[in-house]
Structure 1
């Protein structure tokens, strides 16, 4: 069948030509559109795949990414004019999370990828290598991990790589060196390793290199001199080594030069400043460079940052800064530079100067008054740790933008300028370790921004200004090691300041601790050691829950440790030593898991010492000088808290005493004393077998060894004339009394004790193992006596310490023992002896709880009066306290203060 041919009546050949042309045009256009649609469909699908792996925040950043809108109009998407293919993907700073889809590699016309300032994680997809048209890759400020894809070298048109501030690792791919068009390479703040310059040394188009804060290694090759276009070179905080090649200083376009914190060494070339006159930033701090600062730096008058700090430079600083009008930072600290600092005179024209750091160095001489003429833009000024002396210029308060002033550990003298309060922007003030004197200026209360104030280790005097508490930003206050006096005002702690650290130690402050101190709820460190504070320890300190370090040692505090301290679970170090604190040791210290140092030495604590937690740490817990403690771990060498059994004599008296009470018991006691005194004089009363060594020779070295060098661990107690140490001599435990010959009566006491013990032998007297006549020690005016060791301490510790349940029978036994001693001294010696200091602390108990009288340092021989009515002239000796009535020639003092106690 022939096709049907329709023809209108008016149809002509020209009409047919036009019709065919329209049909053909429509066909071709449709075909072209079909091709474009196919490419656009690929881009559309890829974009949706990218979206599917992103978590979008509540701002609905990708809300437009849907099928109702053509993808070339989606947010962050741009397409080319000709082919309508995606050329730009810009979603920076949208708060996006998630990973980068590998479908990004299907956007084959992409030239720019901007995904920086988001929270993307995961690895950079290797499909990026498909984007041969890519010019810019900006992925910085995310948390991307893994290595830089090796096939990135296929992106031959790449000009910009910004991968900084991620968590990328591994070595740089070697293919990076093939990206000949690369101008900007930023990979700083990652974990990249391996060589840097070996990879990029042939990229002569580079303008900007930023690779600091990685772990790159290797040296800087001389070929770096070929990078003649280089403007920005930042490779600080890596592990680069070797020396700087001379070609580096021929890069005439260089504006920024940063090699800080590496392992570079050597001297700088003398012509360093000749060929790079436009240099604005020069930073080599934290390396090992040596030698002098080159004079040719005077050519670099465009410098804004000049940082040589923490190297090994020596010599004087050239005075060539008068033309450095743009200089903002001059940092020379941490070197061995010397001479005076009069080059400051050339800095007064540097109107942009913000930071001037000159310490630590070996600078000396007087602090020039020209400091007051420096730029009012100055924010930080440091001469700390130098030998600079002189006074602080009054005009320093002209620097009214100063925020940090570091002048500690110098040799400054004079007083602190009274108008310091004019530095109203000051945040940090370090004037410690100088020779400053005078008072702390009241005007410092005007420093409302001040957060750190260190005035310690000076000669400052007077009161602490109460209005310092009005410094609302003050966190750290250190006034230790001065001559400050007076009391602490409540205003110091009830003001607006919120202290973290308060150190007032080693002054002459007195009175009680301020109760307002408890308002410092953020306080972490409180040190008031070695002052004259008194009263009780404020219980309200228990409200300072963040307290970590508490030092109140070397004062006159008394009373118990407050129970409220149980809430201070953050404590790590505590020192309450050398006070008059008493009561039991709180067991709650054992619950402080962070506590590793607890010093309670030289107080009057009583009771049982715990053995767990901190109390089990012999290197972190100290209780020496508390004579009423017992128990604890073995290393503390305290007496046991369990009562020892008495001899059979005691056992026989117990049933009798148990039947007596009150006055009857006292009568029996008195009778016992009387019977003891009238015992036969020929009763054999001999010292134990150790007294057989009474004539042994003992040297200073022997005692030094016996007491482990007179260590604190072996210190048993101290008294008016000396100290007593425990030791092991010839295999036996002994007590060694060492005289303090700086006391004017010590030698007299030593001779009295020698003369007495040379003439007495009795089982109820403390035995001297080495006779005085054989042991008159003379080594650097050293004198000592060696006694029997009494393991059960003194009667005082038994009556007033942990053994207050001592039975009446036991007390009677002790009284009888003492009566034997007194009777022997008064009636059985060839010449009667008066003890003159008989008190419970001088009555010591042996292993069997037999009492022995000790400490004959005040003893006197009682000669017969020449006339019947003449009385003794001995008078009252010993510790001031209660003196028993009776013949004034026989004085027995029962004061309860502690003297020498030879106990564990």
Structure 2
């Protein structure tokens, strides 16, 4: 019995020892899995910022295959994909990533990773896709990547990489896509890239590459996409590239290439869709064979040395929507250079024709009336075009930009031009157009720029111009216009850039209504026959920088009210009949650099301060009764008589005596206040800490200088409580800033300032606008001044991208489906942070397109926290239920319905606003659109159409979609619309949570990019 027991113990011990010596397959899997888990934890350790909690699930409580962003193989449970795109992560990529030996896909784009790309990635022999675009990676491209022999996609676009493109990349024989654009790469394009026989895409634009385009690239027979734009390349385009019959996109824009484009290019590259050779040194003629590339959509030959005619067969390209031929030497001497217009009438998708700055000669054919009604831009400026403007131009009813300046047009402006109801910019200046300005021009209610200077127009300025309530720039000078200045124009406070009426025959006074032009920067009414006094109301034009009223018949004194125009730089009152003394305030204007008061009837002593100290900047000639001033002006010395002394002495007594009396009374009053109140015991109250102790407060003077005196030219937006200006705070740095100036006369503006400071002082997120500093001071007039200084967003607000026509803005391109989806994800991410991840739950309360700003990469940043509620005493869960009901403010159309009946402030209100905003982004319709009445609103409208069969009816017509993915995009669009509908339900309980919104939108993007499945998208059906 004892031996049996001993034997069992020996067998058990042996098994234990064998388990160490010969581990089972399960143990081996467990060991290799442990390697992956430890590598991922090391990856997490190097992440400095994770505001969205993307890595919160990376812990010991769950298996790493369940961690967010991780995909494992089914059999061995090894990590095969790491996808953390657009998670606002910041940090460096750990070298331990090289231990994930089964990794096939790395996707880290749209984050804030920095440092070098770890060379350990070269150990990932199974890696197929490496996407690190839109980060801040720096240093040289590691040659260790060449060990990843299975690599098919290498995308390092938009980082800070430097150095040369490694020759060793030529060993990646399976590479299909090479994206290195928007870095700081130098050197030559390696000819060895020609060894990548499988390559379909080369994108290396926007670097500092030099040398020539290697002829070896012509050996990549399957190449479809080649972009080498915006480098320093020289030489010619290798003939071998013209043999790549599969090429659909060919862009060498903005280099120093020369030579001629082969005449048979259209025959060889028959699959071309995009051809861009602009801004180079190419010569020769534009090949007529382009029409053989029947899929061609985009042609850009601008800024070269091309000669000869514009091919008159381009209309054979049915898909052509954009043609740019500006700044060449195109043209002949036969006077028929505009015949190509007739051909283009067959291109029914045409949206843009740009042929300005050439030598095109001839008249416009009447057939231009038959051009595509989709045409939005027609630039024919600076050519040799003559004849009249065809009346049929009125058929082009979608026209937004019409530029025919610097030609030789004659005849009248056709009244049919009033049919172009979407026109925003009209340039007809520097021609020989005669007759009157048609009153129908008042029908152009979206017009922002009207330029018809330097013609032979006569008659009065039409009063109907007052209907153009978007006008910002008006140029009517150098004509023969007569009559008075219409008051209707002077009511247009939108006129901001300039109002030029000089060199005409205008009569009568300058109407007092000129004071309505409070945003105007430049006013020129010189060389007319205007008379009367200069109106005091002109001083209301506080932003004026240039004021020219010379060569008229004005009389009386220079108004004292002009002292309010502190930003004046140029002032010319010469050749009038002005009288009285030169006002002292002219010497106190801080930016005045040119002052001409010559040939008037001014008298008295010339001041010696300010601009009057610079004789080269001041002219007072022709005023016979002036004296004094600095010696360089060579004026007689002022003589002080005995009677004038007595008068001065008497005046001093009359002025000083009451002033001294008032000062004594004031001193007595202040001493009483000190004794009565200020000596009382004070309560133990602490002064409130400044809202942003980490920032230096900026002075009013610094902001005044940074924004050029809060010039209208620097104005970028106007809101409920103030205006926003762009500026440069540090001239050495030249970094642009945005200055939000509170209008403290507006009720609630002060509270808005406090609310915004309170909301912004402790939050930080890549999708929230970053506040840089504050200003609480006194302006030059002694008024209270408050401002917030933010980082500048060069692409403006989402409002101007979605509805450019409403603001008279020109958008260079329309937003694509993916761009809109990325913006929607950015906004949702910002809300998720405010509601769940900031120091306290914050309700934004005014979510709308105007409060979403876009940076240079179209990344969205939520702004304007003037109505925000900081629910610091609530947890996230309780905050969703809301705080006590208050007088809720916001923007009509975006306010949650429960607020209208006194409901509580809650995060559900932001969700409703987000839902409406999301629907607006993809339908292009505002919630306040005129169509929404009688119970119909944007929510119901979208809800009825949220199916593949009808979604086209509500889709924004400007939403760009790729033709090859159009059907699938419509499915994704339906999913997005359903999210918007689910967020904008009437009942707060029925709305989606913002966390779910972020997850679902990310899933849609994955499917769109081909890295997810339709099963990832589970959208609530509209109720």
Which of 204, 214, 239 matches 1:221? Answer: 214
* Pair 1:437-2:434 in alignment: yes
Q: Describe the shift of the 1:487–1:642 C-alpha distance in structure 2 as closer, same or farther (beyond 3 A).
A: same
- Work out which of the residue numbers 363, 376, 381 in structure 1 matches 2:378: 381
| TM-aligned CA deviation for residue 324 of structure 1 | 1.0
CA offset at residue 481 of structure 1? 1.0
| Distance in 2 separating the partners of 1:496 and 1:522 | 6
> 1:312–1:32: structure 2 CA closer, same or farther, 3 Å change rule?
same
- The structure-2 alpha-carbon separation of the partners of 1:397 and 1:559, relative to structure 1 and needing over 3 Å to count, comes to same
Segment drifting more, 220-229 vs 121-130: 121-130
1:305 to 298, 304, 324: 298
Question: Among 274, 279, 294, which residue is 1:286 paired with?
Answer: 279
What residue is the counterpart of 2:779 in the other structure? none
Q: Shift of the alpha carbon at 1:89?
A: 1.4
Gaps of 5+ in 1: 9-15, 645-653, 659-904
Does the 8 Å CA contact 1:172/1:199 hold for their aligned counterparts?
Answer: no
Secondary structure of 2:530's aligned partner: strand
1:135–1:431 CA distance, 2 compared to 1 (3 A):
same
- Going from structure 1 to structure 2, the CA distance change for 1:616 and 1:119 (only over 3 Å counts) comes to farther
Q: Which residue of 1 aligns with 2:514?
A: 517
- The DSSP-based 3-state class of the residue aligned with 1:5 is helix
- Displacement of 1:188 after TM fit? 2.0
Does 2:462 correspond to 1:469? no
Aligned residue runs from structure 1 range 768-783, under 5 A: none
TM-score (norm 1): 0.66
* Conservation of the 8 A alpha-carbon contact between 1:228 and 1:253: yes
Matched, 1:243 2:236: yes
Deviations 1:711-764 (A, max 9, x none): xxxxxxxxxxxxxxxxxxxxxxxxxxxxxxxxxxxxxxxxxxxxxxxxxxxxxx
Q: Do the aligned partners of 1:331 and 1:357 also contact (CA within 8 Å) in 2?
A: yes
CA deviations over 1:146-174 (Å, ceiling 9, x no partner)? 43334333333322122222333333233
- Mapped to 1, the partners of 2:532 and 2:272 lie a distance apart of 65
- 1:728-877 to 2 correspondences below 5 Å: none
In the alignment, which residue of structure 2 is the partner of 1:574? 571
Offset of 1:456 from its aligned partner?
0.9
Give unmatched runs, 5+ long, in structure 2.
Answer: 647-1023
Match of 1:81 in 2: 74
**C-alpha separation between the residues in 2 aligned to 1:635 and 1:564?**
29
Does structure 1 retain, via aligned residues, the 8 Å contact 2:194–2:218?
Answer: no
Question: Given that residues 477 and 499 in structure 1 are in contact (C-alpha distance below 8 angstroms), is that contact kept between their aligned partners in structure 2?
Answer: no
1:219 positional shift: 0.8
Indicate whether 1:423 and 2:420 are aligned.
yes
Alignment of 1:608-687 (within 5 A): 608-641=605-638
* Secondary structure in structure 2 of the residue aligned to 1:526: strand
Deviation at 1:22, TM superposition (A): 11
Decide whether the 8 Å contact of 1:470 with 1:496 is kept in 2.
no
**Distance change (3 Å), C-alpha of 1:302 and 1:508:** same
SS at match of 2:175: coil
Shift of 1:242: 0.9
Take 2:46 and 2:466, find their aligned partners in 1: how far apart are those partners?
A: 55
CA deviations on 1:491-517 (whole Å, 9 max, x unpaired) are: 212247443221111112222223333
CA contact under 8 A between 1:56 and 1:62: conserved in structure 2? Answer: no
**Aligned ranges 1:20-419 → 2 under 5 Å:** 31-54=24-47, 59-198=52-191, 200-339=193-332, 340=336, 341-419=338-416
Larger mean Cα displacement after TM superposition, 390-399 or 181-190? 181-190
Cα 1:4–1:624 change in 2 (3 A) is: farther
Q: Report the 3-state secondary structure (helix = DSSP H, G, I; strand = E; otherwise coil) of the residue aligned with 2:567.
A: coil
Task: Check conservation: 2:492, 2:516, Cα contact below 8 A.
Answer: no
The answer as to whether partners of 2:499 and 2:522 remain within 8 angstroms in 1 is yes
- After TM superposition, give the deviation of residue 626 of structure 1 in Å: 2.8
Which among 443, 449, 453 is matched to residue 446 of structure 1? 443
Counterparts of 1:29 and 1:378 in 2: how far apart (Å)? 77
Contact (CA 8 Å) 1:471, 1:497: kept in 2 or not? no
C-alpha spacing 1:171/1:548, structure 2 compared with 1 (3 Å): farther
Q: CA deviation at 1:633?
A: 4.1
Compute the displacement of 1:351 (Å). 0.9
Which residue, 451, 454, 459 being the options, matches 1:457? 454
Contact 1:170 1:192 in 2 (8 A): yes
CA 1:448/1:298 → structure 2, altered by over 3 Å: closer, same or farther?
same
Alignment CA distance shift 1:639-1:375 (3 Å) = same
Greater Cα shift, 399-408 or 38-47: 38-47
* 1:552 partnered with 2:549: yes
> Taking structure 1 as reference, are residues 534 and 220 closer, same or farther at Cα in structure 2, changes over 3 Å only?
same
For 1:866, the equivalent position in structure 2 comes to none
TM-score by length of 2: 0.58
Distance 1:57 1:7, change over 3 A: closer
Q: Structure 1 203/348 Cα, relative in aligned 2: closer, same or farther at 3 Å?
A: same
Q: Secondary structure at the match of 1:419?
A: helix
Q: Deviations over 1:180-222 (max 9, x none)?
A: 3222112222322221244634333221112222221111222
Q: Distance in 2 between matches of 1:177 and 1:284?
A: 27
What SS does the aligned partner of 1:181 have? Answer: coil
For residues 825-853 of structure 1, give each alpha carbon's deviation from its aligned partner in whole angstroms, at most 9, with x where no partner exists.
Answer: xxxxxxxxxxxxxxxxxxxxxxxxxxxxx
Alpha-carbon distance between aligned partners in 2 of 1:628 and 1:222, rounded to the nearest angstrom: 80
Q: Which whole-Å deviations, capped at 9, do the CAs of 1:648-670 have from their partners, x for residues lacking one? A: xxxxxx99x99xxxxxxxxxxxx
| Counterpart Cα distance in 2 of 1:642 and 1:166 | 73
State how far apart, in whole Å, the 1-side matches of 2:606 and 2:266 are. 71
- Asked if the contact 1:284–1:308 (Cα under 8 Å) also holds between the matched residues in 2, the reply is yes
Contact kept in structure 2, 1:256 and 1:280, CA below 8 Å: yes
Change (3 A) 1:23 1:54: closer
Aligned residues of 1:354 and 1:380 also touching (Cα < 8 A): yes
Secondary structure, aligned partner of 2:362 = coil
The structure whose residues are more often helix, as a share, is: 2
Distance 1:510 1:160, change over 3 A: same
Structure 1 residue 374 displacement after superposition = 0.8
- Going from structure 1 to structure 2, the CA distance change for 1:232 and 1:534 (only over 3 Å counts) comes to same
Mapped to 1, the partners of 2:602 and 2:139 lie a distance apart of 62
Q: SS state of the match for residue 365, structure 1?
A: strand
Cα distance, 1:133–1:571 mapped onto 2, change above 3 Å: farther
Q: Deviation of residue 325 (structure 1)? A: 0.9
Secondary structure of 1:444's aligned partner: helix
Larger radius of gyration: 1
- Correspondence for 2:598 among 593, 601, 604: 601
Is the contact between residue 272 and residue 296 of structure 2 (CA under 8 Å) also seen in structure 1?
A: yes
Q: Tell me which stretches of 4 or more aligned residues in structure 1 moved more than 6 Å.
A: 19-30
Q: CA deviation at 1:604?
A: 3.1
Shift of 1:45: 3.4
Partner of 1:535: 532
Cα distance in 1, alignment partners of residues 422 and 18 from structure 2:
78
Contact 2:98/2:124 (8 A) holds in 1: yes
RMSD of Structure 2 on Structure 1 (CA): 3.2
Q: Distance in 2 between matches of 1:442 and 1:57?
A: 60
Cα distance in 2 between the residues matched to 1:130 and 1:628: 90
Contact 2:159–2:182 (CA under 8 A) maintained in structure 1: yes
Q: Which residue of 1 aligns with 2:720?
A: none
Distance 1:600 1:233 in 2: 62
Deviation at 1:641, TM superposition (A): 4.5
Whether the 8 Å CA contact 2:493–2:519 is kept in 1: the answer is no
Say how many residue pairs are matched: 640
Segment drifting more, 480-489 vs 366-375? 480-489
